[in-house]
């Protein structure tokens, strides 16, 4: 039955570079801000809503210690968000070059937008719109997955839904100052706030509760984090060994060829060590064990709408 469910998900949800064949309807498309990059990418975005993406994006079926089933989705604003980020990063570099900012001597990836400029205000509008898109994107995939489960298992109920962003910036107050906090590789962990910390497709994930530690700007890790780059993983990890580890755990997984080693468990840090190192930031509510992982099998030269 589990295999039938995973195949159903692959059939219903476009993965990797696949998009929907038809435009998706969403009321917020009509409310898109009048920002050039948004308007240029809006038509493409209509085909991407409700699709998973590539890389480290995944759909994972998990079980907790009480044998209850959980569904975890890691996906965001798709190519829509990527285009927005690139557009405004390029604009930021021009500002910093014009003003001879010392930041550019350290890294061009640290370029910034002056807060009082129109470009910065437009970026914030675009970013917040992309976050709305990302939330709707996850919601639509989750709805389809639940329908697939219900077609196979009649008696089931949804007990809890948790949705969090994992790459965003917002105004917050820390140490009596209003500041913009950018979280990438991190999520908010205010006191009592519920969060999600994924491991890898062969290790546990965790549902956590924030402790509101001010020294971390009330944040925690977004996941286990990589211990090696994608290229290094392909060069150094054993495909046979990684597949064997997943098979021995009985996990339906997505590691089949050398390129898949980029997302193999061996390319990630030990999630339990990561959790131990942030026990002053969050407390564990639920430990989740993977039983099936759906990731893109499409390669870059196989793009299709």
**Three-class SS string for 92-153?**
HHHHHHHCCCCHHHHCHHHCCCCCCCHHHHHHHHHHHHHHHHHHHHHHHHHHHHHHHHHHHC
Residue ranges for the chain with pLDDT beneath 70:
297-305
Please, are residues 261 and 239 in contact by the beta-carbon 8 Å criterion?
yes
Listed residue (194, 201, 191, 197) closest to 272, CA to CA: 197
Query: What is the C-alpha to C-alpha distance for residues 294 and 176, in angstroms, rounded to an integer?
Result: 44
* Angstrom distances, CA of residue 110 to CA of 82, 90, 92, 105, 130: 17, 11, 9, 10, 21
Map tokens 């196989």 to a residue. Answer: 302
Query: What is the C-alpha to C-alpha distance for residues 163 and 95, in angstroms, rounded to an integer?
Result: 35
Known catalytic residue at 182: no
Around Cβ 32, how many Cβ atoms within 10 Å? 18
pLDDT of amino acid 14: 96
3-state secondary structure of 82: helix
DSSP state of 50: T
Burial label for 103, CB within 10 Å (0-12, 13-18, 19+), is middle
pLDDT digits (tens, 9 = 90+) for 268-286: 999 999 999 999 999 999 9
Predicted TM-score (pTM) above 0.75: yes
Residue 44: in which H helix or E strand, if any?
helix 36-48
Residue 236: in which H helix or E strand, if any?
helix 230-236
Half-sphere exposure of 263 (CA within 13 A, CB side): 19
CA torsion through residues 157, 159, 164, 166, sign: negative
- Catalytic residue of the set 19, 57, 74, 222: 222
> Does domain 2-170+182-225+268-302 fall into CATH 3.90.1860.10?
yes
Instruction: Give Cα 263 to chain centroid, integer Å.
Output: 14
pLDDT of amino acid 291: 96
Query: What is the C-alpha to C-alpha distance for residues 292 and 299, in angstroms, rounded to an integer?
Result: 21
Listed residue (132, 219, 131) closest to 172, CA to CA: 219
pLDDT of amino acid 156: 76
Query: What is the C-alpha to C-alpha distance for residues 104 and 244, in angstroms, rounded to an integer?
Result: 45
pLDDT of amino acid 302: 40
pLDDT of amino acid 276: 97
Burial label for 276, CB within 10 Å (0-12, 13-18, 19+), is exposed
């Amino acid at each position: 039955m589990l295999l039938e469910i995973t195949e159903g998900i692959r059939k219903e949800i476009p993965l990797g570079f696949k998009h929907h064949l038809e435009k998706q309807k969403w009321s917020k498309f009509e409310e898109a801000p009048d920002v050039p990059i948004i308007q240029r990418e809006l038509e493409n975005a209509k085909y991407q809503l409700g699709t998973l993406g590539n890389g480290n994006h995944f759909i994972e079926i998990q079980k907790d210690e009480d044998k209850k089933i959980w569904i975890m989705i890691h996906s965001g604003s798709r190519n829509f968000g990527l285009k927005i980020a690139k557009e405004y990063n390029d604009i930021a570099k021009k500002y910093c070059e014009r003003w001879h900012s010392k930041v550019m001597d350290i890294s061009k990836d640290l370029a910034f937008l002056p807060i009082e400029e129109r470009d910065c205000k437009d970026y914030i509008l675009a970013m917040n719109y992309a976050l709305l898109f990302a939330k709707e994107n996850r919601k639509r995939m989750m709805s389809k997955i639940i329908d697939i489960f219900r077609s196979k298992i009649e008696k089931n109920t949804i007990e809890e839904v948790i949705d969090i962003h994992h790459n965003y910036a917002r105004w917050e107050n820390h140490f009596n100052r209003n500041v913009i906090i950018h979280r990438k590789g991190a999520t908010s962990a205010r006191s009592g706030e519920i969060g999600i910390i994924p491991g890898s497709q062969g290790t546990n994930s965790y549902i956590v509760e924030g402790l509101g530690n001010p020294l971390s700007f009330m944040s925690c890790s977004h996941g286990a984090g990589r211990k090696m780059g994608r290229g290094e993983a392909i060069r150094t990890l054993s495909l046979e060994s990684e597949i064997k580890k997943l098979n021995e755990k009985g996990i339906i997984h997505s590691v089949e060829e050398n390129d898949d080693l980029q997302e193999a468990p061996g390319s990630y840090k030990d999630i339990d060590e990561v959790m131990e190192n942030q026990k002053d930031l969050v407390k564990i509510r639920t430990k989740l064990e993977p039983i099936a992982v759906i990731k893109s099998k499409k390669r870059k030269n196989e793009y299709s709408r």
